[in-house]
Structure 1
Amino acid sequence: MSLLKVTNLTKKFGKFTALDGINIDVNEGEVYGFIGPNGSGKSTTIRVLLGILKATEGEAKVFGKDAWADAVEIHKRIAYVPGDVNLWPNLTGGEVIDLFVKLRGGNNKSKREELIKKFDLDPSKKCRTYSKGNRQKVALVAAFSSEADLYILDEPTSGLDPLMEQVFQECVMDIKKEGKSVLLSSHILSEVEKLCDRVGIIRQGKIIETGSLSELRHLTRTNLLVETKQPITLLNELKGVHDIEEKDEAFSFQVDSEELDAVIKHVSQFGVVRLESAPPTLEDLFMRHYEGEGQTETGAGGVS
């Protein structure tokens, strides 16, 4: 069942088109990765979904309700974490967490305490003293302490150290096990790869690819390092082989995944001594999408 559905969504700021007919579908119990470089339209999309911006054309529905007209109703069932959290400077972190949790009608003290401990947060300090990472932790604890059906997370780990990123990932997996849905906007591809069931890639306001990770793997290349008894010949003439480099007595190169079988068969004729394979990652996929694109990302005064 679809909890969030965006259809042909367009958002213009004057003559600048920030979003150009995008489609997104997030199902119940699913973690959907929304990825793209800074300035590609991720945050603009999220602001439309939250009812902060009104779409120019198309529609955005959350829980079957219109994101703009029914924003108040929708907010009762969602938790949102922005990439740059601003908090009330004179309140403590604990007071801010309590305020957000009460606004959503929750009161699970044990969960709140457990999350504060997990994220290694001192809730007694005033928010004005917090670093960016600690402000981020306050927002994450407040979100994960809430009883929500959909979690909208916009670059939620910016400012967190690697240990805290791991805690964040565990929290996302926990809410997924509870059957909740997550829209995770990120440009940290390893994060998306670990957590997401499906991915939508956005560039300059357009969704250029969408699907499960296994469906998108065909766009990636596998990295191979091969050492053979006899020198490999005709490697550069094989279909799907890229970036060949000779390293000592071995060859390193990339292979389009769909050509892997034929390349391995060719290489094996020369007596394989060593074969190392690094699986394709979302990082590779991303580079394939954007390589050869000489132009910079179009921006409109910080639209992202």
Structure 2
Amino acid sequence: MSVLTVKNLTKKFGKFTALDGVNLEVNSGEIFGFIGPNGAGKSTTIRVLLGILKATEGDIKVFGKDAWADAVEIHKRVAYVPGDVNLWPNLTGGEVIDLFVKLRGSNNQSRREELIKKFDLDPTKKCRTYSKGNRQKVALIAAFSSDADLYILDEPTSGLDPLMENVFQECVMDVKKQGKSVLLSSHILSEVEKLCDKVGIIRQGKIIETGSLSELRHLTRTQILVDTKQPITGLSELKGIHEVIESEQGLSFQVDTEEMDEVMKYISQFSIIKIESAPPTLEDLFMRHYEGTETASDTGVGGGK
């Protein structure tokens, strides 16, 4: 069942088009990775979903309701964590968490205490004394203590150390097991790769690719290192071969995944002694999309993170 649908979302700031025909769908129990560089339009999209910004054009539904007209109703079932959290300076972290949780109408004290311990937060300190990382922790604890149906997380781990990032990933997997949905906006590709069922790549306000990781991997290349008894000849002429480099360890090259079978058959005739392959990562896919392209971050308008 679809929890969130975005059809032909366009958002203009004066003459500048921040979002240009964005389409997204997040289903129940799904973690959707929303990736792109800073300024690509991720935060602008999220602000429209939350009813903070009104779309110039498009149909945006959350739980089947209109994101702008029914924002108050929608917010009862949504937990949101921004990438840069501002808190009330004179309240303690614990007071802020309690406030957010009560606003959502849930009061799971044991979950709250468990998360405070996991995230290693001192809830007795005033918010003005907190570092950026601790402010993020307060927002994450408040979000995951709430019984939401959709978690919208916009660069939620900025400022967290690697240990806390692991705790965050555990929390995301926990809510998925409960059948909840997550929209995770990030430019940390390893995070997206670990967590997400589906990925949408946004560039300059347009979705340029969307699908499951396995569906998107056809766009990537696998890195191969091979050592053979006889020197390999004619490799560069084969279809789908890139960046052939000879070294003491052997011959390294990249191969388009769809041509792997033919390439393996070809190099096997040279008597393989050793072969290593590194699977394609989301990083490879991402870099190939962005190679030689300018991004909207140069404009400084409406892109957000």
Deviation of 1:301 (Å): 3.4
Kindly indicate whether residue 16 of structure 2 is the aligned counterpart of residue 16 of structure 1. yes
CA distance change for structure 1 residues 277 and 85 in 2, over 3 Å: closer, same or farther?
same
| Matched-pair contact (CA < 8 Å) for 1:242–1:254 | yes
Alignment of 1:40-55 (within 5 A): 40-55=40-55
Identity of matched residues, % = 81
Kindly indicate whether residue 192 of structure 2 is the aligned counterpart of residue 192 of structure 1. yes
TM-score between both structures, scaled by the size of structure 1: 0.98
SS at structure 2 position matched to 1:19:
strand
CA deviation digits over 1:5-45, x for unaligned, max 9? 10100000000000001100000010001000110000000
Residue in structure 2 matched with residue 236 of structure 1 by the alignment: 236
CA deviation digits over 1:250-282, x for unaligned, max 9? 011110000111111111111111100000110
**Distance in 2 between residues matched to 1:145 and 1:255, nearest whole Å:** 45
Residue in structure 2 matched with residue 210 of structure 1 by the alignment: 210
Structure 1 unaligned runs (5+)?
A: none
**Distance in 2 between residues matched to 1:294 and 1:72, nearest whole Å:** 37
**Distance in 2 between residues matched to 1:82 and 1:123, nearest whole Å:** 20
CA deviation digits over 1:238-260, x for unaligned, max 9? 11011111111501111000011
CA distance change for structure 1 residues 11 and 279 in 2, over 3 Å: closer, same or farther?
same
What's the C-alpha RMSD, in Å, of the aligned pairs? 1.1
Alignment of 1:141-152 (within 5 A): 141-152=141-152
Residue in structure 1 matched with residue 93 of structure 2 by the alignment: 93
| Matched-pair contact (CA < 8 Å) for 1:204–1:298 | no
Residue in structure 2 matched with residue 178 of structure 1 by the alignment: 178
CA distance change for structure 1 residues 84 and 249 in 2, over 3 Å: closer, same or farther?
closer
CA distance change for structure 1 residues 207 and 82 in 2, over 3 Å: closer, same or farther?
same
| Matched-pair contact (CA < 8 Å) for 1:4–1:27 | yes
Kindly indicate whether residue 266 of structure 2 is the aligned counterpart of residue 266 of structure 1. yes
Structure 2 unaligned runs (5+)?
A: none
Deviation of 1:302 (Å): 5.5
| Matched-pair contact (CA < 8 Å) for 1:16–1:300 | no
Kindly indicate whether residue 67 of structure 2 is the aligned counterpart of residue 74 of structure 1. no
Deviation of 1:74 (Å): 0.5
Residue in structure 1 matched with residue 286 of structure 2 by the alignment: 286
**Distance in 1 between residues matched to 2:199 and 2:225, nearest whole Å:** 29
| Matched-pair contact (CA < 8 Å) for 2:41–2:302 | no
SS at structure 2 position matched to 1:18:
strand
Residue in structure 2 matched with residue 219 of structure 1 by the alignment: 219
